[in-house]
Structure 1
Amino acid sequence: MLSEVFYSECLFCKQKISFTDLICEVCFNNFERITFSCHKCGYPLESDYIICRNCFQARFYEKIMVSYWYNYEMRTLLKYYKFHYGFKNLKIFERLLSGLCIEDNYHIVTPVPVYISRRLVRLIQPAYYLSKIISKKFGIPYKTLLKRVRFTEYQWKLKRNLRIKNIKGAFECMDDVKGLKILLVDDIITTGATINECARILKKSGAKRVDIFCLSKGMFL
């Protein structure tokens, strides 16, 4: 009886679901997992190539792990949390990471930071919650290592050759990372310019190794 009065609607199909849920089972299964990845660094690929283009360019991370493609469902979910003040059922991120396997022993897990003006607009920071989940799930200490020191244009608005210039010098390392193995976390990767710049700063500050985890990768790039 109470379920007829207190219910919610699926974020996608608007079907009636439990008040505590955000997405129905059918729509949850529409999140598309990554199938192919670079044999060298793990960068997600749309087909079974052996090595990605990033491995032929300067990169400062050793390995990257990405779980899903940034399809309609993922885009809608992340925008719901970032721009619509979606506090409901943050445990959806735990479910999305349920199949994640991390075998390396990292000293710290840390998120890609957001500039202060955007933190005021986005009350929910997916990279922060993803980092916290990974920390708890795998017993890796969480710490905020990077600070965004200047405002940058949204990367997705820029062409690939402008993204590196846009993000260069936008981060600072706030702590001692000498000799540490670090797992850097973000919610979406486009060309990889942002995570590569973050990894560069961490390596420049003395980190022994930087690996990446991103929840999703855009299919349009």
Structure 2
Amino acid sequence: MDIIQDYLLPPTCLLCGNPGTPHRDLCQPCHRQLPRNRQCCYQCAERLEVQSDAPMLCGRCLSRRPAFDDTYAPFVYGDALRYLVTGLKFGAQYKNARLLGHLLAEHLQKTAEKPELILPVPLHNSRYRQRGFNQAIEIARTVAKDMQLPMDLHSCQRRHDTPHQTRLTAKQRRKNLKGAFVVVKPIKVGHVAIVDDVMTTGSTVHELAKVLKKAGVAKVDVWVCARA
């Protein structure tokens, strides 16, 4: 099927327009130039200036531990990643979601323990109707397929249509998101991975992880394409 698709619609790099690699709309030079998030806090993926071979925590996680356990964010949010994410989020470029999903899954297959299911960060119904899709779900579809994992779209809901958080401080974001999520169906697994596009302060995934832990989930990881 992929061979036929590549023949009819040859992969084209979404960043430079040159031919892509097999089954992927990204060329090798652009792939090599993507900004990797290699040296980071293992819990929140914030970039660290200290070089170490051992897993490290940032000062923020040491003083205020988040509800989630580990974060996997292969790239730094900027330039190419910003272009792909904003094109998806505000331009409904679904091909961007497929590429981001492939890149995230490729990283996870080498680094992450497999959870029992993945859960995209829910949008409130009014925001979903306005946008017409949930970018976290679109990315998670590809991740679920590549990693052969079930995806849960029904156990958790966003009950508050929280305002946009772009210009809010970390403290304001935490207040804005308090009580935003609710578990509406039993989650009968012990290990869940939350999937989203970008992680900025971690307030959203912290609040979601908190309700998942209260619902009985023992381990909650966060999988995002990039860390801001």
2-side partners of 1:103 and 1:174: how far apart?
Answer: 28
1-side partners of 2:134 and 2:189: how far apart?
Answer: 28
Structure with a larger share of its residues in strand? 1
User: Aligned pair 1:29/2:32, yes or no?
Assistant: yes
2-side partners of 1:216 and 1:170: how far apart?
Answer: 23
User: Aligned pair 1:141/2:144, yes or no?
Assistant: no
How far residue 105 of structure 1 moved from its aligned partner, in angstroms, is 4.1
In the alignment, structure 1 segments of 5+ residues that lack a partner are: 1-5
Q: Secondary structure at the match of 1:151?
A: coil
How far residue 131 of structure 1 moved from its aligned partner, in angstroms, is 2.1
Judging changes above 3 Å, is the alpha-carbon distance between structure 1 residues 72 and 100 closer, same or farther for their aligned structure 2 residues? same
Structure with a larger share of its residues in helix? 2
How far residue 48 of structure 1 moved from its aligned partner, in angstroms, is 2.6
2-side partners of 1:202 and 1:126: how far apart?
Answer: 21
Q: Secondary structure at the match of 1:100?
A: helix
Deviations 1:81-109 (CA, angstroms, capped at 9, x unpaired): 11112234643124322232254242221
Partner of 1:48: 50
Partner of 1:3: none
Count of aligned pairs? 210
Deviations 1:123-158 (CA, angstroms, capped at 9, x unpaired): 443311232223223332211232111111222220
Judging changes above 3 Å, is the alpha-carbon distance between structure 1 residues 33 and 123 closer, same or farther for their aligned structure 2 residues? farther
Partner of 2:92: 85
The more displaced of 71-80 and 99-108 is 99-108
- 1:51-90 matches, cutoff 5 A: 51-52=57-58, 53-88=60-95, 90=97
1-side partners of 2:158 and 2:227: how far apart?
Answer: 22
1-side partners of 2:96 and 2:175: how far apart?
Answer: 37
How far residue 46 of structure 1 moved from its aligned partner, in angstroms, is 3.8
Aligned residues: percent identity? 26
- 1:106-185 matches, cutoff 5 A: 106-144=115-153, 145-178=155-188, 180-185=190-195
Q: Secondary structure at the match of 1:155?
A: coil
- Contact 1:187/1:216 (CA < 8 Å) preserved in 2? yes
- Contact 2:39/2:48 (CA < 8 Å) preserved in 1? yes
Judging changes above 3 Å, is the alpha-carbon distance between structure 1 residues 136 and 55 closer, same or farther for their aligned structure 2 residues? farther
How far residue 21 of structure 1 moved from its aligned partner, in angstroms, is 7.6
2-side partners of 1:139 and 1:9: how far apart?
Answer: 26
2-side partners of 1:171 and 1:162: how far apart?
Answer: 17
Give the root-mean-square deviation of aligned CA atoms: 2.8
- Contact 2:199/2:227 (CA < 8 Å) preserved in 1? yes
2-side partners of 1:105 and 1:37: how far apart?
Answer: 20
Q: Secondary structure at the match of 1:35?
A: coil
